Chains A and B, each alone.
Chain A
Amino acid sequence: MNVRLYLWQRLTAVLMLPLILIHLAVIFYATSKGLKAADILARTRGSIAWASFYGVFVTAAAIHSVIGIRNILIEWSSLSKRGAGLLAIGLGITLLILGVRAVAAVVLP
C-alpha cells in the first residue's frame, strides 16, 4: 500500500460511514413500517436523491474494497504485486457493475 491508495481507502471509509448509518436506518424504517417491495419502489423510482445516495455508496464500496483486497492478495497469496493489482481491479469492476445494476433496478422509472 502506498500513500495514494492509503488516502483513497481512508477517504472512501470516511464517506461510507454516514452512508452506512443512513442505509441501516432505512432498513429499520422499512421493516418496522412493514413496507412492501411496491411501496419501496414507489419511493425510489425516479428519485435523484436515492440514485445519488446509493450511486455514491456502491462506488465508494467498490474503491474501498478493491484496495483492501489488493493488500490481502499481496500479503496472503503467491501472486505478484502486478497480478494482485490486476485481480483486485477485476473484482472491483465486477462489484461496481453489480452495485450500479442494483441501484438502477430500484431507481430507474
Chain B
Amino acid sequence: MLDPQSELSVTLWRGAEDGAYQTYQVPIRENQTILDVVSWVQRNLDPTLSYRFACRVGMCGSCAMTVNGRPRWTCRTHVSKVANDGRLEIGPLENLPIIKDLAADMRSFFEKWQQAKGVFTPSRTRDDTIEAIKPDTPARVAVDEAIECINCGVCYAACDTVRWNPDYLGPAALNRAWSLVNDVRDAGNVERLEAIAADGGCHACHSHQSCEQFCPQTLNPTASISGLKRRATQAYLQGEIKP
C-alpha cells in the first residue's frame, strides 16, 4: 500500500521500444529531484536500470527524460513541482529511439547538428590577431540570446514537427545554426544557409513554440528559427544560396 505522506509511486519505462512501464515505491525526501528518484531506484531496487546523467547541476544536458508526459532536465526538476498526487511516470525522451529503459539514442539529434552545419568555421588562423567583438552589436546580442544551449534534447523531444517529419533538423540544431549565422568570425554561412534552407530545414517549422516552453535554459529556438527563415529567404532572393 502506498503511503502518500512518505512514499512516491514511480512508474519507469523498462526495456527497449517493446518495453513496458513498471511501478516502484520510493521514499519521499526533502528537496528531492527526479534524478534523485531514478538513482534511488537504481541503487536500492534494481541495479539493472539504465539511465544517463553526469553533472547533476544542470550544465551537461545528459539527464533529460519524459516526466509525467513532459520533457524535462531531471537533475533540476523537483519532485514537489511535478508529482501528480504522489505519482511520477518517467520515460526516455520522445522522438528518439530507445536504447534501454530511460536512455534514448541521441545519435539522430547530434547528426542533425552536423547537417545544419553547427560547427564553427574559422575565418582567421592562429597567426592572425584576435578579432575584437563588441558585445552590444545586434549580431552579438542575437548570438548571446541563443548560445547557452546545453544539448539536452528537451526541445527536440517536445517538437511536433520533429515527431511528424523525420527529416526536420529540429530546434536545437537550427538554434545553433542561428548563433553561428550571427557570429562575425564565422566563414561558413553560405553552406550553412543552404543546409538550413533545404527540405527539413528552418522553413518546416510551424512555430508551435513547444521548444521555447520546455527549454530548461529558457532559450527561444522558435525566435532563432524565425531569424533563419528571414536570413535564408533574403540570401535566396539575392542569389547567394542555391538550396
Contacts and interface: CB of A to CB of B under 8 A. Distances in A.
A7 B233 contact: yes
Contacts of B237: 7
A7 B234 CA distance: 10
Closest 8 pairs between A and B when the two form their complex, measured CB to CB: A75-B164, A3-B197, A6-B203, A1-B203, A3-B236, A2-B199, A1-B204, A3-B232
Interface of A: 1-7, 71, 74-76, 81
A2 B164 contact: no
Q: Which residue, B164, B198, B203, has most C-beta atoms of chain A within 10 A? A: B203
B165 A75 contact: yes
B interface, size bucket: 10 to 19
Contacts of A5: 203
Nearest to A71: B204
Contacts of A1: 199, 203-204
21 contacts: A1-B204, A2-B197, A2-B199, A2-B203, A2-B243, A3-B197, A3-B198, A3-B201, A3-B233, A3-B236, A3-B241, A3-B243, A4-B236, A4-B243, A5-B203, A7-B236, A7-B237, A71-B204, A74-B164, A74-B165, A75-B165
Interface in B184-243: 197-199, 201, 203-204, 229, 232-233, 236-237, 241, 243
B179 interface: no
Contact of A6 (B164, B167, B229, B241): B229
A15 B233 CA distance: 18
